[in-house]
Amino acid sequence: MSAARVGVVTFPGTLDDQDAARAVRHAGGEAVPLWHADPDLRGVDAVFLPGGFSYGDYLRCGAISRFAPLMEELIPAARAGLPVLGTCNGFQILCEAHLLPGALMRNAGLHYICRDQGIRVESSTTPWTSDFTEGQEIVLPIKHGEGRYVADEATLGALEAGGQVVFRYTGGNPNGSLNDIAGIRNEAGNIVGLMPHPEHAVEDLTGAPSTDGRAFFSSILKKLVNA
Amino acid sequence: MSLDTVKRAEETPGERQPYAELGMKVEEYERVREILGRRPTGSELAIYSVMWSEHCSYKSSKVHLRQFGTKAPESAALLVGMGENAGVVDIGDGWAATFKIESHNHPSYVEPHQGAATGVGGIVRDIMSMGARPVAVMDALRFGGADAHDTRRVLPGVVEGISHYGNCLGLPNIGGEVVFDPCYIGNPLVNALCVGLLRKDQIKLAVAPGPGNKVVLFGALTGPDGIGGASVLASATFEDESHAKRPSVQVGDPFMEKLLIECCLELYQADVVVGIQDLGAAGVSCATTELAAKGTGGMNVRLDLVPLRDPSLRPEEILMSESQERMMAVVTPDDIDAFMTICAKWDIPATVIGEVTDGGRLVMTWHGETIVDIPPGTAADEGPVYERPFQEPAGQLALNSDTPKRLARPADLRATLLELLGSPNLASKEWVTSQYDRYVRGNTVLAQPADAGVLRISEAMPGAEETKRGIALATDGNGRYARLDPYAGAQLALAEAYRNVATTGATPLAVTNCLNFGSPEDPEVMWQFAEAVRGLADACKTLGVPVTGGNVSFYNQTGSVPIHPTPVVGVLGVIDDVATRVRSGFTGDGDRIVLLGETEAEFGGSEWAHVAHGHLGGLPPKARLASERDLALVLTTAASQGLLTGSHDLSDGGLAIALTEACLAQGIGCAVSLTGDDAFVELFSESSARALVTVRPESFDTFAKLCATHEVPCYSLGTTGGDSLNVKGVLDIPITELRQTHTATLPGIFG
């Protein structure tokens, strides 16, 4: 049986695409490069929107990327159930594209912050988190200047009530996110966005001092193989 | 309004020209007239004035820097030496590394954010122009006193500039230094290092061979950036259209630079580049003259084709503009379409502005009229060379005689340790380094606060040959040591960087340096410079590591007061199997802690003298180069045999600070006993050629034998474990207290 194919999107200014592709490969999947200007998903089974500063983060983080030709294909596919994971800038793009509710604002401390962050997994019901257990405490790197999650009260209430908060910061909220939110999913659960970087926590030799990111990739590959 | 053409210059030999305002001496101006056989045009004057500036021509330093060549040790690894955009060394398995450190001191004082940001941008383009993919950056920073008012303006701006630019580029920041000293209050030092990787057979050079080949300017548009000098020229020549004085600090766009990196790499992969040069200081002037001088000697350029951000720019301003994120390539006519297609894919503006000739002249036209006609080598390579006078500073002897022996020794060593640990130079730099992305690209094996940054090579570029190798990089420099003795100070800077690389298990291979000094017109500063270069060249020879390139920054002084002479030295090393790298500090319980090297009472220029007494006098620690070499051999051999579980070099603050940092690395304590009878000297002396390592108890005998073979003194101090730093009979400090003291200082000052 051929490996599951996970698309990794590169916008101008995307930085973590190489890391995301490597993480997919390490988990046994095939990483398929997707170029922002090609309105073609190349038949992938899932999509990873990596971090970076797409279009230089001009205007607003993710604000220009949502209009990329590729996104014209991706947005309807995601609404129809294609599994999509956005990390950091990818999360910002998902919010700008209204695939996820809320927005990501400048960190409360006003500084870019890179550190190994405690995270609690609040939901293992998404295709990207099924290899975690609910309540599991993990460590992933964060590295962002605009990661303060905000949403209006009604949206926030609905997220909490619907179990759509997937990750919460532990051991200190690094950026002032409401309810310590580090990541969320859409109602259907196929779209997940988070500020931390699982793709930097998959190897012993390099990256963060944890390999907790592996479960994201094993989760999605299991889901795709079993689908 | 009239254009200052070559024809006009011939017709008006007596026209007054603003060479002095452009920083040229009258003799230099006369030499230009002699070379050309007429007065230069305004555009030619622009070219010569920037190309013969201290920054571009190294006219004051050249006679000394030659020692890096004449004294260079034999090195099979050196592929490209000094004189190119950056040096290149062979790191094995068909791979090469290129690295260089460069200053952006003055702009960073004027406008900290943009000054520091464009410093990163400039060094990254140097690395790109060698044909490499840039893979990491580091920064060596010096600021005035941490609590000084202006430091609170400069430091956050500099850090934010480096953070924003480097993070947007997607280059991990893997190390560097932050040092505070009042001497830098009006002259902060921002030295940026970049390292790149490439295939050994894919090195690109700044040459323009092949008449008929096209000259392409690509990247950002040219605007009025950093051309204060040119404004003088423009307004002097064209009074009716004088331009307002413009900001002289360039503004960077890291997004454009990121696209430029990816674009260049695709151009290299497609093999459509004959020669390439980045546009840094002196912009188009520098790129055209240097490319032409190293090629077949001629180039025709239509300057009016340069795409502009500000259409009112005059030719002189275009020639001197320092707009960022620009490159110049030489491309064969057959490849030009492929070249342009790749640039278009990355949305990079690219314009053919001229072509290579065999005429031996650099000729530029402006809407059909000739405004430049010069032999390019006279601007690029044949600038003035000065043998500036130098003499030992008047107070040097008195400074060296005022030794730390007169300083009162502390009664309470626990309090002394905590005082040093919380002092700005030894406190945690996390406030700074947490603003840098150290993970991007996924090849970072070690990053700050490790002794050296370590990168995996094999996945640096997709599709490249597999290798187990890794590279290690460290920068060091101690201005106080160099103030006391610039010869030894430069050697100690090299020794520390060399040692830091070796503590990770990597074999030191090559050197880059950034020489930060006051005014070369001051004979006392020139003496410091001459001594430092002599010391560094001698030490490179002894340690067998050649200098591959670097940068000199003069005029770091306020009024007549220069900074401490501050040679910053970067060392690159290679580790055969990157999985055998040694982590910094204590990594597990029950390991044997071993001190390597000899300790003498050496406190001149030490952190203790500085923090406890505000004292600077005497002589710095001796540079023990033969011992450094033996120590490095023990460290790398032991690492390759898997004997070491952790390591850390001894430097500022001595054994006390090394033990503390080793405990803090992973929160593992230790219990040690000192071996002599003077605890103060053993804990705080800064003798060189020392390191701390940990080994499993069962490996100790093997390791001790290895040390004996290489005649490296080896002292077993104790065992790792517990939750405090326990020096028997001297002090016992809980790790929580150490951490609190270590981490509170910078956030307390900078918020």
Helix (H, G, I), strand (E, B) or coil at A105: strand
Which phi and psi angles does B378 have, rounded to 5°? Answer: -70, -25
Q: Does A142 touch chain B (CB under 8 A)?
A: no
Q: Is B104 a catalytic residue?
A: yes
Is pLDDT at B660 greater than 60 in this prediction? yes
> B580 vs chain A: nearest CA distance in angstroms?
10
Q: At a CB cut-off of 8 Å and minimum separation 6, what does A181 contact?
A: A149, A159, A165, A167, A168, A169
Q: What is the mean pLDDT of residues B187-202?
A: 94
| DSSP string covering B139-173 | EEEEES-TTSTTHHHHHHHHHHHHHHHHHHHT--E
The domain ranges of chain B are: 6-57+204-380, 607-750
Q: What is the mean pLDDT of residues B729-740?
A: 98
pLDDT at residue B282, rounded to an integer: 82
Q: Does B441 touch chain A (CB under 8 A)?
A: yes
Please state the domain count of chain A.
1
Catalytic position from the list B64, B104, B615, B742: B104
Q: Which residue has the higher pLDDT, B625 or B72?
A: B625
Min mean pLDDT across B223-227, B368-372, B682-686 is at B223-227
Distance, CA of B187 to CA of B283 (rounded, Å): 25
**From B168, B434, B462, residue closest to A56, measured CB to CB:** B168
CATH 2.60.40.1180 at B6-57+204-380, yes or no = no
CB distance B52 to B379 below 8 Å: yes
| Residue A227's pLDDT band (cuts 50, 70, 90) | low
The dihedral over CA atoms of B585, B589, B590, B596, expressed in degrees to the nearest 10, equals 0
Q: What is the mean pLDDT of residues A178-192?
A: 97
Test mutation, B436, B441, B455, B504, chain A, max A CBs within 10 A: B441
Q: What is the mean pLDDT of residues B25-38?
A: 96
Is pLDDT at B465 greater than 80 in this prediction? no
Angle at B723 between CA B720 and CA B725, to 5 degrees: 65
Which phi and psi angles does B377 have, rounded to 5°? Answer: -60, -30
CB distance A172 to A115 below 8 Å: no
Among all residues of chain B, which has the CA nearest to that of A112?
A: B435
B437/A114 Cβ within 8 A: yes
B456/A206 Cβ within 8 A: yes
> A23 vs chain B: nearest CA distance in angstroms?
10
Q: What is the mean pLDDT of residues B141-148?
A: 97
B438/A53 Cβ within 8 A: no
Q: Does B445 touch chain A (CB under 8 A)?
A: yes
Helix (H, G, I), strand (E, B) or coil at A169: strand
B163/A18 Cβ within 8 A: no
Distance, CA of B609 to CA of B622 (rounded, Å): 17
Pair type for strands B78-80 and A191-194: unpaired
Q: Does A223 touch chain B (CB under 8 A)?
A: no
Is pLDDT at B637 greater than 50 in this prediction? yes
Q: What's the topology of domain B607-750?
A: Phosphoribosyl-aminoimidazole Synthetase; Chain A, domain 2 (3.90.650)
pLDDT at residue B241, rounded to an integer: 41
The model's pLDDT over A27-58, given as tens digits with 9 standing for 90+, comes to 999 999 999 999 999 999 999 999 998 877 77
pLDDT at residue B245, rounded to an integer: 43
The residue written with tokens 């006003």 in the block is A110
Give the HSE-up count for residue B46: Cα atoms under 13 Å, Cβ half-sphere: 34
Q: Does ipTM top 0.85?
A: yes
pLDDT at residue B248, rounded to an integer: 62
| DSSP string covering B309-339 | SSTT--HHHHHH---SSEEEEEE-GGGHHHH
The model's pLDDT over A1-35, given as tens digits with 9 standing for 90+, comes to 568 999 999 999 999 999 999 999 999 999 999 99
User: Number of residue pairs across A and B with CB atoms under 8 Å?
Assistant: 86
- Count Cβ atoms below 10 Å from residue B750 Cβ, excluding itself: 15
Q: Which domain holds residue A123?
A: 5-226
The model's pLDDT over A59-114, given as tens digits with 9 standing for 90+, comes to 778 888 888 899 999 999 999 999 999 999 999 999 999 999 999 999 998 899 99
Q: What is the mean pLDDT of residues B393-398?
A: 96
> A13 vs chain B: nearest CA distance in angstroms?
6
pLDDT at residue B462, rounded to an integer: 61
Among all residues of chain B, which has the CA nearest to that of A114?
A: B434
Q: Does B504 touch chain A (CB under 8 A)?
A: no
Residues of B in contact with A199 (CB under 8 A): 442
Q: What is the mean pLDDT of residues A211-227?
A: 91
Distance, CA of A129 to CA of A19 (rounded, Å): 19
Q: At a CB cut-off of 8 Å and minimum separation 6, what does B311 contact?
A: none
pLDDT at residue B297, rounded to an integer: 77
Angle at B590 between CA B691 and CA B445, to 5 degrees: 55
Q: Does A115 touch chain B (CB under 8 A)?
A: yes
Q: What is the mean pLDDT of residues B662-673?
A: 97
Is pLDDT at B744 greater than 50 in this prediction? yes
What are the C-alpha distances in Å from B559 to residues B115, B403, B484, B518, B715? 21, 28, 21, 10, 49
Residues of A in contact with B443 (CB under 8 A): 206
B254/A53 Cβ within 8 A: yes
Q: Does A207 touch chain B (CB under 8 A)?
A: yes
| DSSP string covering A141-163 | EEEESS-EEE--HHHHHHHHHTT
Helix (H, G, I), strand (E, B) or coil at B96: strand
> A27 vs chain B: nearest CA distance in angstroms?
15
> B252 vs chain A: nearest CA distance in angstroms?
12
> B86 vs chain A: nearest CA distance in angstroms?
25
Mean of pLDDT over chain B: 93
**From B160, B164, B443, residue closest to A206, measured CB to CB:** B443
Is pLDDT at B234 greater than 50 in this prediction? no
Same fold, B6-57+204-380 and B607-750: yes
Distance, CA of A167 to CA of A72 (rounded, Å): 28
Test mutation, A48, A206, A210, chain B, max B CBs within 10 A: A206
The DSSP H or E segment spanning B640 is: helix B625-640
B255/A58 Cβ within 8 A: yes
What single-letter DSSP state applies at residue B584? B
3-state secondary structure B8-39: HHHHCCCCCCCCCCCCCCHHHHHHHHHHHCCC
CB distance B513 to B568 below 8 Å: yes
The model's pLDDT over B468-497, given as tens digits with 9 standing for 90+, comes to 999 999 999 999 999 999 999 999 999 999
Q: What is the mean pLDDT of residues B6-11?
A: 95
Residues of A in contact with B160 (CB under 8 A): 111-112
Is pLDDT at B210 greater than 90 in this prediction? no
A112/B163 Cβ within 8 A: yes
The model's pLDDT over B75-100, given as tens digits with 9 standing for 90+, comes to 888 888 877 778 999 999 999 999 99
B253/A112 Cβ within 8 A: no
Residues of A in contact with B436 (CB under 8 A): 114
Q: What is the CATH number of the domain that holds A178?
A: 3.40.50.880
CB distance B380 to B289 below 8 Å: yes
Is pLDDT at B253 greater than 50 in this prediction? yes
| DSSP string covering B180-228 | E-GGGTTS-EEEEEEEEEEEGGG---S---STT-EEEEEESPB-S-S-H
**From A111, A114, A207, residue closest to B442, measured CB to CB:** A207
| Residue A225's pLDDT band (cuts 50, 70, 90) | confident
Residues of A in contact with B459 (CB under 8 A): 18, 22
The DSSP H or E segment spanning B725 is: strand B724-727
Residues of B in contact with A15 (CB under 8 A): 169-170, 258, 440-441
Residue of B703, B711, B739, B714 whose CA lies nearest to B724: B739
Is pLDDT at B236 greater than 90 in this prediction? no
> B196 vs chain A: nearest CA distance in angstroms?
17
